[in-house]
Amino acid sequence: MQRTSSGRVCPGRLSGAVPVALVLLLLLVLLPLAAGCGSTEAGAAGSATTSSAATGAAADSQGSATTTPASPEGGGAEMSAATVVVTDQAGRQHSVPDPIETVYCASPAGTNLMYMLAPELLIGWNVTPTALEKEFIPEQYRKVIGLGGWYGKNTTGNVEEIIKRDPDVVFSLGDLDEAAVSEADRIQGLLDIPVIMVDGSLVNSGQALRYIGGLLGREARAEELAAYCDDVIAEAQGNTATLAASDRVRVYYAEGTEGLNTDPEGSMHTEVLELVGGANVAQVELSSGYGMSPVSFEQVLLWDPDVILVASDPAEESNVYEQITTSQTWSDITAVANHRVYQIPRGPFDWFDRPPSMSRILGVRWLGNLLYPDLYPYDMEDEVRAFYTLFYHLDLSDAQLEKLMSRAR
């Protein structure tokens, strides 16, 4: 620097070889550092993009999941949706979106579970709810369309409409045997959508909830429901183990338009009865699939059950309960004479069967309380209210409770 005669400081001039050399030296040192900084920033940005594409998925003892990260497209400006490879409970592997945002179920049993766990993800019911069922469904879920399904006799899903609505996955809740696997593969071929098989047995209800909850990222909700199921099943198994054969109440399950169809021990349709330790009087051949073996009235008269459970009718078109309780024909049967004929509650789903769904958990406590009140000393009105609040998103009114229980106690 140089000073003027007035004392102000002015920039001086670089002169001589030594200052020029210093400048060149500084440039040689600083240029590599600048290049390093640029590459570090680019590397950090790339790492963040890659890590944000990969997410985790939950698994349980019978199903597993591994993550597959998304890859850059179009120069890395956008990322494709992440996918997850999951193993269903039949051992079949599927690549599914992560997260799963929409779900369809192949049968009412699966739809029942999804309604309990995450109803907002359902793209449709299998069957549009009846007027009776809608009474027990909150308004926001009543208008969901019916899309059919693959269950029971002569039922099929609306393939075109399901494909149009494009669910991320289809859950098939039920058996895991060879026939069920073959059917799931067939449905998957029709829809070109992953069909994930889940064990639908009553005693594994908690496991099914945890598995599906893990896939959907609803672990906390699934655990809340699963813990309830586990408690009910453990209690029933413990109570049944204490019953002597001579103490078991003899029960007939009356199905069909005249009460002369039934299902024997070992059927999926009578799992609740077996779990609570009731003795199924029906000595008929086990019918696979839909069940409902025909029997004669003379057979029922010979079996002479202590209790008759009358299947519910969602359309409220039949009056089997009234036929049995008021007909002179049935009056000599012990259950009728002792006023121990009960209509199985339904609303929005059946507590005992058809579909053999997770609603049967409530049915276990209800039937246990009917058959063995000393082993199941519950105030059933309190139990029913609590179950509907927790599982069905509904606080029952007194009128709704009475409609459910009027023929069931």
Q: Are 309 and 342 in contact (CB under 8 A)?
A: yes
What is the rounded (10 degree) CA torsion for 51, 54, 58, 62?
A: -130
In this prediction the pTM is 0.80
304 band by pLDDT with thresholds 50, 70 and 90: very high
Q: Where are the beta strands (DSSP E) in 110-183?
A: 169-174
Predicted confidence at residue 160, as pLDDT, reads 97
The tokens describing 28, both together, are 């040689």
Q: What confidence tens digit (pLDDT) does each residue in 51-102 have?
A: 333 333 334 445 654 444 443 333 322 334 699 999 999 999 999 999 999 9
Q: What is the pLDDT of residues 351-403, one digit of tens each?
A: 999 888 899 999 999 999 999 999 999 999 999 999 999 999 999 999 999 99
> Cβ of 301: how many Cβ atoms within 10 Å?
13
Rounded average pLDDT over 275-279: 98
pLDDT of 46 over the 90 cut: no
Confidence of residue 155 (pLDDT cuts 50, 70, 90): confident
CB 363 within 8 A of CB 355: no
- The ranges of the chain annotated as CATH 3.40.50.1980 are 80-221, 242-405
Band of pLDDT at residue 29, cut at 50, 70 and 90: very low
Contacts for 322 with CB less than 8 Å, ≥ 6 apart: none
pLDDT of amino acid 236: 98
pLDDT of residue 81: 67
Q: Which residue has the tokens 């009460």?
A: 259
**Gap between the Cα atoms of 224 and 386, Å rounded:** 13
**Residues 285-304: what's their mean pLDDT?**
89
More confident call, 385 vs 318: 385
pLDDT score, position 291 = 87
Q: What is the mean pLDDT of the chain?
A: 84
Range of lowest pLDDT (213-217, 286-290, 311-315): 286-290
CB 270 within 8 A of CB 353: yes
Integer Cα distance of 56 and 206 in angstroms: 22
**Is residue 84 a contact partner of residue 57, using CB atoms and an 8 Å limit?**
yes
Whether the per-residue pLDDT at 36 is higher than 80: the answer is: no
* Superfamily for the 242-405 domain: Nitrogenase molybdenum iron protein domain (3.40.50.1980)
Which whole number is the average pLDDT over 213-237?
98
Work out the average pLDDT over 144-173.
92
Residue 185 has pLDDT above 60, yes or no: yes
Residues facing 388 on adjacent strands: none
Q: Is the pLDDT of residue 294 over 50?
A: yes
Percent of the chain with pLDDT over 70: 78
24 pLDDT band (50/70/90 cuts)?
Answer: very low
| Residue with more model confidence, 125 or 70 | 125
Q: Give residue 318's pLDDT band: very low, low, confident or very high (50, 70, 90).
A: confident
Any alpha helices (H) in 200-270, and if so which ranges? 205-216, 219-241
Residue 32 clears pLDDT 80, i.e. is over it: no
Q: What is the mean pLDDT of residues 311-334?
A: 88
Which residues, 6+ apart, have CB-to-CB distance to 295 below 8 Å?
Answer: 260, 261, 262, 282, 284
Higher pLDDT, 61 or 258: 258
> Measured on CA atoms in the order 249, 380, 317, 111, is the torsion positive or negative?
negative
Q: Both tokens of residue 137? A: 């469904």
pLDDT bin (cut points 50, 70, 90) of residue 316 is low
**CATH value of 80-221 in 3.40.50.1980, 3.40.50.720, 1.10.357.10, 3.40.50.10490:** 3.40.50.1980
Half-sphere exposure of 56 (CA within 13 A, CB side): 5
